[in-house]
Amino acid sequence: MVESCYIHIPFCSHICSYCDFSKMYYHENWCKRYLIALEKEIDLYYQGEELSTIYIGGGTPSSLSLSELEQLFLILRKLKRKKDCEFTIECNVENITKEKLEFFLKEGVNRISIGVQSSHTKILKYLERPYTKEEIISVISLVKQVGFSNINVDLMYAIPIEREEDLEEDIIFFLNLDVPHISTYSLMIEDHTKLKNQNVKPISEETDFRMYHTIHQRLTSYGYKHYEISNFAKEGYASRHNLTYWRNQEYYGFGLGASGFVRNVRYENTKSFQEYERETYRKEEDTLSRQLDMENEIMLGLRTIEGISKEKFLKKYGCDLKGKYQIQDLLEKGYLKETNSSYYIPFSYWYLSNEIMLRFIGE
């Protein structure tokens, strides 16, 4: 049963140096055409389910004008929502306004996610984020003033020009913003980005690990629960939408470059605006075998503090995890922990989670 939906808005007022998401510079005419195509895709694939979570991401959804946002939300009224639906929209510091925030609130949005990344001028310039520390503080204050309490901010680390002291200062700054959710991202030098084209090299794994450990120690000491490899939340504020992904549950993905998982089919939309406008939405579609679905269940579940539920796995796949996979060695070495109800990776080994996941499923 599909209960979640992701909507991708590819437009940006500028392109960040590290970004490899499906994006394009904002243009009024392109936006108008895109919204027409988006509505057609939703009409074609949405089956009328009541949704528990909706997430509008990008790109930069807040780069749209107020009138374009009104058109977008008119389209999204086609999506039925449960009364307690978690409704998130991503915003950037430089194009949040009081009018847009008030409009989001009126339309039922109850969670705002803001791409802050850093408080340091030199790092923001390096990442090509066009705002200042003071503007970050002002925007977070405005979001709260309008009436939003469920707020996420993104923190990026492992940046080549960043010192460990810079990260310490950023953590203090983020804590002082006093928001209930913080997502953390180690900078990846991806293909087709400005940093990759400039031949920038990632920092050492040792420094990356120390930074990751520092973030964990500082945020958890201030009451944040490290509930997923990259995410921290105060009690009751874990992202329900992202938990949909990590629990291997089905979700719609609409928009350019969006991915989805519906009725046992994982798909990825085209990143070509021309193809999308011609209603050639899907680039790839894969019907999952039982084996591959089980492996996804494991790989995604082990990203979270709750791990993999023995009961749910048995009910879903009709087999016992320990009987299906050779995991005794992982248990004996402490890479994997077992409780009466689940298997999980302890925090001390989260940094090695990819290797542990692969060993779990025997690859």
Residues 6+ apart with CB under 8 A from 49: 1, 2, 3, 80
Structural tokens at position 165: 């002291």
Mean pLDDT of 84-91: 98
Report angle CA 113, 119, 122 to the nearest 5 degrees. Answer: 125
Burial of 279 (0-12, 13-18, 19+ CB in 10 A): exposed
pLDDT band per the 50, 70, 90 thresholds, residue 107 = very high
Give the CATH fold of the 4-245 domain. TIM Barrel (3.20.20)
Structural tokens at position 208: 């990356």
The whole-model pTM stands at 0.94
pLDDT single digits (tens) 210-241: 999 999 999 999 999 999 999 999 999 999 99
Instruction: Output the pLDDT for position 199.
Output: 83
Q: Where are the domains positioned within the chain? A: 4-245, 308-363
Mapping DSSP onto H, E and C, the string for the chain reads: CCCEEEEEECEECCCCCCCCCCCEECCHHHHHHHHHHHHHHHHHHCCCCCEEEEEEEECCHHHCCHHHHHHHHHHHCCCCEEEEEEEEEEECHHHCCHHHHHHHHHCCCCEEEEEEECCCHHHHHHHCCCCCHHHHHHHHHHHHHHCCCCEEEEEEECCCCCCHHHHHHHHHHHHHHCCCEEEEEECCCCCCCHHHHCCCCCCCHHHHHHHHHHHHHHHHHCCCEEEECCEEECCCCCCHHHHHHHCCCCEEEECCCCEEEECCEEEEECCCHHHHHCCCCEEEEEECCHHHHHHHHHHHHCCECCCEEHHHHHHHHCCCHHHHCCCHHHHHCCCCEECCCEEECCHHHHHHHHHHHHHHHCC
Per the model's pLDDT, the better-predicted residue between 84 and 196 turns out to be 84
Q: What percent of the chain clears pLDDT 90, i.e. is strictly above it?
A: 84
pLDDT band per the 50, 70, 90 thresholds, residue 13 = confident
**Burial 38-52, CB ≥16 within 10 A → b, else e:** bbebbeeebeebebb
| Residue 220 Cα to chain centre, angstroms | 20
pLDDT band per the 50, 70, 90 thresholds, residue 322 = confident
Instruction: Output the pLDDT for position 21.
Output: 62
Evaluate if residue 263 carries a pLDDT over 70. Answer: yes
pLDDT band per the 50, 70, 90 thresholds, residue 23 = low
Residues 6+ apart with CB under 8 A from 252: 2, 4, 5, 6, 45, 46, 260, 262
The CA-atom distances, in angstroms, between 150 and each of 93, 176, 185 are 16, 16, 20
Residue the block writes with tokens 């107020």: 66
| Residue 9 Cα to chain centre, angstroms | 14
Evaluate if residue 20 carries a pLDDT over 70. Answer: no
pLDDT single digits (tens) 298-315: 999 999 999 999 999 999
